[in-house]
Amino acid sequence: MPTKTTDGKAGAKKAADKPAAKKAAGSKPNALQKPLQPSKELAAIVGSDPLPRGEGVSKIWDYIKKNNLQNPENKREILADDKLKPIFGKPKVTMFEMNKHLAQHLK
């Protein structure tokens, strides 16, 4: 149940109530933001420049959707084409397995 504040508005919070989190200058990016070098197999899809893990996964999904590689009967399965087979090591993987295989190609 929302509580009433002194101004009569229930549960309203102002952005000024919380101090903005400040990062120290020169702090390291977290693990998901750290640029990683894709393998040559993965570079054929996402490019050869280092990129964060999240961006690599996003580019793989763009490639999968652009080339219609999701199994129409089970959208959780990805059907590997000639570019994805060297990355996945098998003809089809689940979307959850995909991240495990991608991790092996990002160093």
Task: Look at residue 13 in the predicted model and tell me its pLDDT.
Answer: 53
pLDDT at 14: 53
- pTM score, whole prediction: 0.70
> Residues 60, 98: contact at Cβ < 8 Å?
yes
pLDDT tens readout for residues 58-89: 999 999 999 999 999 999 999 999 999 999 99
Give me the CATH code for the 30-104 domain, please: 1.10.245.10
**How confident is the model over 21-43, as pLDDT tens digits?**
555 555 666 877 899 999 999 99
How many C-beta atoms lie closer than 10 Å to residue 81's C-beta? 14
Question: Domain map of the chain by residue range?
Answer: 30-104
